Amino acid sequence: MMKKLVSMLFMLSVMLILTTQTGQAAAVPKLFLNGNALSADVEPRIVKGYTMVPVGVIADGLGFGVSWDAATKSARIHNGQTEMILTVGKITAVVGGQSVQLEAPPLIEKGRTMLPLRFVGSQFGLDVHWDSATKSVSLKQPEPSPPVTGPEPSPAAGYIQDIGYDGVSRFTIAYDGVVTPSEMLVLKGPDRLVLDLPNTSFGVSFAPGTPSGEATYTVDGHPALNSIRYSAHAGKPVRIVFDLAVPTSYEIEQTDGQLIIDVKYPEPGAVPSPGTDGSGNKIYKVVIDAGHGGKDPGAVSVTKRQEKEFNLAIALKIKALLDKEPRIQPYMTRSDDTFVELADRATFANNLGADLFLSIHANSFRPEITGTETYYNRESSRAFADVMHKHLVKATGLPDRKVRQANFAVIRRTTMPAILIEAGYLSNKHDDSVLAKEEIRDRIAKEMVSGIKSYLKLS
C-alpha cells in the first residue's frame, strides 16, 4: 500500500511539473518600455526562464542601432556609446570589446533572430523587471541625472511672444521687455544666418508651440531661403537660424517691441532656375555629413586621434572636389568642430530637398578587427551604398567588410538615398596608420566624388 501511494504521488508530481512547463511555454510574455507596450512581428518566448525577443524589438522598440552579419549569424547592437555583438547559438557576447556570459544564447525562430531581452536591456543601462503574475517584462530607462545645483539663473530681460513671416522676405520677432541681439553671424558649409538673442527666453504665449524648446519652419517661395529654425534652452540665448539655399544679404531693424529681419532676394541671375544649371540640366544637392563633432569626439584611435577630426577632414576634401562639379551643389551638416544633433542632420537634408546624403565615419571595436564597411537603412538606398562601397574599398585598400543594413538615425530619418561609411577601424593599428595618411584621405575623397558621379550618371 505504501509503495502504491508513493508511486501515485510521484506521478502526480510529474504531471504537475509538465502542466506548469506547458503553461509557461504557452504564455507569451508582454513587453513594456516606460509603461508603453512594445509590439513584435514574432511573439517573444521564454527559454530556460529567460525572455527572448526578436531583434526588431531591440532596433525599433528600444531605439538601438542594429546590423546583421549573415555570414557569422551575428547581431551588432549600438546605443551610441556601447557596442555589443551576439551570435546565434553562442553563450557569450562581446560588450565593449569584452567577453560576457549570456543568460541564454541567441536563436532563430520563424526566420527571426531572438535575443535575450534582460541581458541586452541591462547592459545598456535599462531597469528590467519580470512580473510573474502578468507574465510581462517591464523596461524602464534611467531618469536623467539631476543638474548640478548652482546659483539660480537671472530672470530673462526679454521674452519672445511671436515670430511671424510676411510670405515675402520679412520676419518679425515680437517681444516684451528688453532684447539686445548679438551681431548676425554669416556662416558657410552650409550657408546660413545665425542670430543670438542673449538674456532672452520664450514668453508664455509662445512657449507652448515649442514644447521641446525648438522648432523649424519651412519657407516656401523665397529663392534664397529654405527654412528658419529657433531654439531656447536654459542658460543659453535664444538662437534663430536662417537656412539658406544660396548666400544672400539681410537687413535688421529694431523698433519698440519688434525685431525685423529682411532676408533679401539674391541678385538676378545669382540663382539658376530651380534644380537646373541655367541650361535645363538638373543640379543635384548632395549633403556631406561629418560624423560626431564638438563635445562628441567619436571613436579614439590607438594613437589617440579622434574620429571627429578624421570625419571632418574627409568631408571638407569631398566638398572641395564637389564644388568643382557644375551639376552638383554640395552642402555640409558641419564645416568645423561643432556638435550637431543627429535629428538636426537629417532634418537639414530633408528640408533642403537633397538628392543624396553621405555620412562619414571611422569605426572602433576589438583591435584585431580591420576593414571597410558601408551602411544603408532603406532598400531605396541599397544601390547607392553598393556603388559607393566599391569606390571606398578601392580608396582605402583595407579588407572588404561588405555593405550592411543598419538602423543609424541619420540614414533612417533622411528621405533621400542615404548611406553611412566606416572607412576603417581606428582601434586597429594598421587601419589607424592607413587612415592617418594624407594621400589615403585624398584618395578617399576622390573616390567618394567618383562614386557620387557614377551613381548620378554624371561620368
Residue 417 sits in the same domain as residue 323: yes
The predicted pLDDT at position 248 comes to 85
Closest CA to 165 of 222, 237, 249: 222
Task: Average the pLDDT over each of 237-246, 382-391, 398-407, 415-424 and give the range with the smallest value.
Answer: 237-246
The predicted pLDDT at position 292 comes to 93
pLDDT greater than 80 at residue 235: no
Q: In CATH, what number is assigned to the domain containing residue 444?
A: 3.40.630.40
Residue 227 sits in the same domain as residue 319: no
Residue 55 belongs to a domain: yes
Give me the domain span that covers residue 357.
Answer: 284-455
Residue 8 belongs to a domain: no
Residue 152 belongs to a domain: no
The predicted pLDDT at position 290 comes to 96
Q: How confident is the model at residue 143 (pLDDT cuts 50, 70, 90)?
A: low
Location of C-alpha cell 535645363: 280
Using CA atoms, how far residue 252 sits from 177, 245, 255, 276, in Å, is 19, 20, 10, 32
Residue 95 sits in the same domain as residue 200: no
Residue 259 sits in the same domain as residue 312: no
Location of C-alpha cell 576634401: 317
Boundary-marking domain end, from 208, 230, 263: 263
Residue 19 belongs to a domain: no
Contacts of 65 by beta carbon, 8 Å cutoff, 6+ apart: 59, 77, 78, 79, 80, 406, 407, 408, 409
Using CA atoms, how far residue 186 sits from 77, 238, 341, 396, in Å, is 40, 17, 21, 36
Residue 270 belongs to a domain: no
Question: CA-to-CA distance for 50 and 37, rounded, in angstroms?
Answer: 19
Helix (H) or strand (E) run with residue 167 in it: none
Residue 111 belongs to a domain: yes
Task: Average the pLDDT over each of 18-22, 122-126, 136-140 and give the range with the smallest value.
Answer: 18-22
The predicted pLDDT at position 199 comes to 87
pTM of the model: 0.49
Residue 253 sits in the same domain as residue 303: no
Q: How confident is the model at residue 392 (pLDDT cuts 50, 70, 90)?
A: very high
Residue 444 sits in the same domain as residue 295: yes
Residue 259 sits in the same domain as residue 300: no
Centroid of chain to Cα 240: 23
pLDDT digit string, tens, across residues 171-212? 899 998 899 888 888 876 577 888 888 888 888 767 666 666
Cis bond upstream, residue 105 (ω within 30): no
Residue 361 belongs to a domain: yes
Residue 254 sits in the same domain as residue 317: no
Average pLDDT, the chain: 81
The larger pLDDT score, comparing residue 212 to residue 334, is at 334
How does 81-105 read in b/e, with b if 16+ C-beta sit within 10 Å? eebbbbbeeeeebbbeeeeeebbbb
Q: How confident is the model at residue 272 (pLDDT cuts 50, 70, 90)?
A: very low
Q: In CATH, what number is assigned to the domain containing residue 96?
A: 3.30.457.10
The larger pLDDT score, comparing residue 172 to residue 29, is at 172
| Residue 422 annotated in active site | yes
Residue 214 sits in the same domain as residue 169: yes
Boundary-marking domain end, from 263, 295, 324: 263
Residue 346 sits in the same domain as residue 444: yes
Residue 162 sits in the same domain as residue 126: no
Q: Contact at 8 Å (CB) between 410 and 382?
A: no
The predicted pLDDT at position 307 comes to 95
The predicted pLDDT at position 5 comes to 43
pLDDT greater than 80 at residue 42: no
Contacts of 450 by beta carbon, 8 Å cutoff, 6+ apart: 391, 459
Q: How confident is the model at residue 124 (pLDDT cuts 50, 70, 90)?
A: confident
Q: How confident is the model at residue 444 (pLDDT cuts 50, 70, 90)?
A: very high
Q: In CATH, what number is assigned to the domain containing residue 215?
A: 2.60.40.3500
Helix (H) or strand (E) run with residue 424 in it: strand 418-425
Residue 303 sits in the same domain as residue 406: yes
Using CA atoms, how far residue 369 sits from 68, 251, 324, 424, in Å, is 16, 54, 36, 9
Catalytic residue among 83, 307, 422, 447: 422
The predicted pLDDT at position 24 comes to 41
Helix (H) or strand (E) run with residue 220 in it: none
Amino acid at 209: G
Closest CA to 96 of 106, 110, 104, 85: 85
- Tally of structural domains, the chain: 3
Residue 224 belongs to a domain: yes
Helix/strand/coil percent split, the chain, to 5: 25, 35, 40
Boundary-marking domain end, from 114, 140, 166: 140
